Amino acid sequence: MIRRNLTHLLVLAVMGLGTTLWAQGGAGSKGASSDSNSDVQADRKDLRQDRRDLNNDRKDIRSDKRDLNQDRADRNQDRRDLAKDQKDLNKDRRERNQDLKNGDTKDARKEQRDINHDKRDIHSDKRDLRADNRDIHKDKKDLHADRKDARHDKKDIRHDRRDLHRDRKG
């Protein structure tokens, strides 16, 4: 009877030891648990996602720089147009005043129409200039936010690499 109980105790001990080893990852995992393996996979996935985010942020930065340069070029063109329209307005006023002084009302009316047209052009150029300045301000803010996101993504990549290293080395 003692022999039988001793055999049962021995079988129970071996089964308990086998179950414990299996729960800790088995003999083939070199001491690493399955949780550690899933941590490595999760860290690799995070690393891939952060790299994708960083690449998207870099694309956004390049796009914002192009937009900013285009808006600056538009603003400069509007400034040149505004100066040209102002010069035309002054020229038309001088010609109108000269025509009135000479008594030529027909040419004076024509110059007045040109003056009115130049005033409308000046108004639209000023409006375009304000819109371009708003766009420049908005693009600068967007560029700053994208650069900030890129810095955070770089930081996340560093942390993910550290986590991967820690998970592999233990």
The confidence score (pLDDT) of residue 80 equals 93
User: Residue 65's closest CA among 55, 53, 57?
Assistant: 57
The confidence score (pLDDT) of residue 35 equals 59
Residues 156, 43: Cα–Cα separation, whole Å: 11
The answer as to whether 14 is a domain residue is no
φ, ψ for residue 30, nearest 5 deg = 55, 40
Residue 43's domain comprises: 37-169
The answer as to whether 113 is a domain residue is yes
When divided into structural domains, the chain yields a total of 1
The confidence score (pLDDT) of residue 160 equals 85
Residues 57, 144: Cα–Cα separation, whole Å: 11
Per-residue pLDDT of the chain (170 residues; tens, 9 = 90+): 677 777 777 787 888 877 777 666 544 455 445 556 777 788 888 888 888 988 998 998 999 999 999 999 999 999 999 999 999 999 999 999 999 999 988 989 999 999 999 999 999 999 999 999 999 999 999 999 999 989 998 898 888 888 888 887 76
Residue 30, phi-psi category: left (phi > 0), alpha (psi -120 to 50), beta (remainder): left
- Exposed, middle or buried by CB within 10 Å (0-12, 13-18, 19+), for 160? buried
The answer as to whether 163 is a domain residue is yes
The confidence score (pLDDT) of residue 133 equals 93
Span between the terminal Cα atoms of the chain, in Å: 48
The confidence score (pLDDT) of residue 27 equals 45
Rounded to two decimals, the pTM is: 0.61
CATH code for the domain in which residue 135 is found: 1.10.287.620
The answer as to whether 47 is a domain residue is yes
The answer as to whether 9 is a domain residue is no
The confidence score (pLDDT) of residue 34 equals 54
Residues 5, 18: Cα–Cα separation, whole Å: 20
Contact in structure between 57 and 150 (CB atoms under 8 Å): yes
